[in-house]
Amino acid sequence: MTDAPVGGGTDTVPVGPAGPTKKAILAGLRWTSLRLRLVVVFGAVALTAAVSASGIAYWLNREAVLTRTQDSALDSFKQEMQNRAAVLPLRPRQDDLRTTARQMAGDNTGDNVLLLGEDSEGKQIVGASDPDAFALKDVPDALRQAVNERQKVTSGNRYPYHLFWQRTERDGKPYLVGGTRITGGGPTGYLFKSLDQERADLNSLAWSLGIATGLALIGSALLAQAAATTVLRPVQRLGEAARRLGEGRLGTRLRVSGTDELADLSRTFNSAAESLQKRVADMSAREESSRRFVADMSHELRTPLTALTAVTEILEDEAENLDPMIAPAVTLVVSETRRLNELVENLMEVTRFDAGTARLVLDDVDVADQVTACIDARAWLDAVELDAERGTMARLDPRRLDVILANLIGNALKHGGSPVRVAVRTEGDELVIEVRDHGPGIPEDVLPHVFDRFYKASASRPRSEGSGLGLSIAMENAHIHGGDITARNVPDGGAMFVLRLPRDGSEAADRDADGDGAGGGGGAR
């Protein structure tokens, strides 16, 4: 891709599917906050759904397994009570109860039966299939009370005693305890069945559901990554196009594919970019026209100004011989002609900066001598204090340095008053020149605008001796050297302008020779 000039071709950034470039791959691997949020949201939704589904599945399966096991065990126990315990004598012996209990328990591993009856003497006797595994104390009191409680026989309740059950734990293991008694004075029976196998099956189911939940979470993360990549790739391309547009590549456009919201956003971006490109092109054309007008006007004014300058010089030489009534007018004409001539020269200089045709003519300069020459040429020796060591050498454009110094010192004398102090020092490869006055300083609201073109601090005196271009031209000359000028107020009174220039302007001169002109603008206090 190439940078498109204003009004020229376009850079097209695809917004639909395209082959991944190295940059796109690296961008895809980088976890932006939006991508992270998408993955987290997908993960949270998937985790919630998986946990909910697993929880419901586990609960349903648990109830189904336990209900099936319990119903089967209780039905079998009830049937055994009817087939075996009911045929026992009304006053059985303990051995009869024990034998019958063992027969009722049968070969079912984990099943234990306990029969409770009365012997011939009316004493309670107990017969258990395995006394060490199941004793009467293992039966919950609430269950024993429910089993022994005689129910009222009605049309809806045919039997005075019913089968009751309860789930309990012993030594951390789950058990099912059921009990009933024979109507008519027969023995009472209790079943003690281990549910350890069912718990193992349910734990296995829980692990399976947990693994399924983890796989669902991983799958959702991968799905979120894919979705985020699909959604964010056009957004990233839109951001890249916006950055190019911000860098001045006004021909940047997005290649649109599809009819979704992102495609609409891309069309809106292209429309805005096209409108911006047109506006910038129009503004550039008007600015170029204005520059050409100023340059042409300045050139056209030079010829009559040359003639006027020659005439005013003659009038100035003859001022002492003129009528006293005419002499002030002649002095005014001479002063205003010089001011107009200076303004035209400044406008010419500004147009050269704007057109990028200003160039440096470098020479090795003793900065102290250069500052002294500038002050001496303008008869400022009595008003300026110089703090500079001779032998401070720099490779600069002497003429442009003189323009900078003349504007800074002249501005300080005009608005700050004498004494003006000029200090020269070096900081590494940088030349620093400070120009300080002892006047009232610069108003805080004026400081940001002191280098604006045609800017004057006092609106009440728009017509003054200055053109409002002096500090602007000083800043332009600093920029073309690769330097800068800053302005600030000094705490103990006065204003200070600090000029910073590289001691070797060769790099700036080479850059200008390659076509990079200086730009900027400014004014005067």
> Quick one: average pLDDT of 56-65?
86
> Quick one: average pLDDT of 452-478?
68
The model's pLDDT over 304-356, given as tens digits with 9 standing for 90+, comes to: 777 777 777 777 777 677 777 777 787 777 777 777 777 667 666 767 666 66
> Quick one: average pLDDT of 4-15?
44
Q: How far is CA 40 from CA 43, 211, 218, 224, in A?
A: 5, 20, 12, 8
Fold type of domain 358-513: Heat Shock Protein 90 (3.30.565)
The model's pLDDT over 83-95, given as tens digits with 9 standing for 90+, comes to: 888 888 888 888 8
Per-domain boundaries in the chain:
1-83+197-255, 90-194, 280-343, 358-513
Phi-psi region at 248: left, alpha or beta (left = phi > 0; alpha = psi -120 to 50) = left
What are the phi and psi torsion angles at 197 (to 5°)? -65, -40
- Concatenate the DSSP letters of all residues of 222-284 into one string: HHHHHHHHHHHHHHHHHHHHHHHHHTT-TTEEEEP-SSSHHHHHHHHHHHHHHHHHHHHHHHH
Q: How far is 474 from 499, CA to CA, in rounded Å?
A: 9
Q: How far is 500 from 477, CA to CA, in rounded Å?
A: 11
Q: Which residue type does 239 have?
A: G
Is residue 353 within 8 Å of 478, Cβ to Cβ? no
Paired sense of beta strands 164-170 and 393-396, if any = unpaired
pLDDT at position 190 is 92
> Quick one: average pLDDT of 418-438?
91
pLDDT at 260 over 70: yes
Residue 422's closest CA among 351, 470, 370?
370
Burial of 110 (0-12, 13-18, 19+ CB in 10 A): middle
The model's pLDDT over 183-196, given as tens digits with 9 standing for 90+, comes to: 777 889 999 988 88
Q: How far is 344 from 400, CA to CA, in rounded Å?
A: 17
pLDDT at 482 over 80: yes
> Same CATH fold, 358-513 and 90-194?
no
Fold type of domain 90-194: Beta-Lactamase (3.30.450)
Cross-sheet strand order for the sheet of 430-436: 384-387, 420-427, 430-436, 495-502, 484-489
Q: How far is 479 from 356, CA to CA, in rounded Å?
A: 12
Rounded CA Rg of the chain: 52
pLDDT at position 425 is 93
Q: Which residue type does 55 have?
A: G
pLDDT at 17 over 60: no
Paired sense of beta strands 393-396 and 363-366, if any = antiparallel
pLDDT at 19 over 60: no
- Indicate whether this model's pTM tops 0.75: no
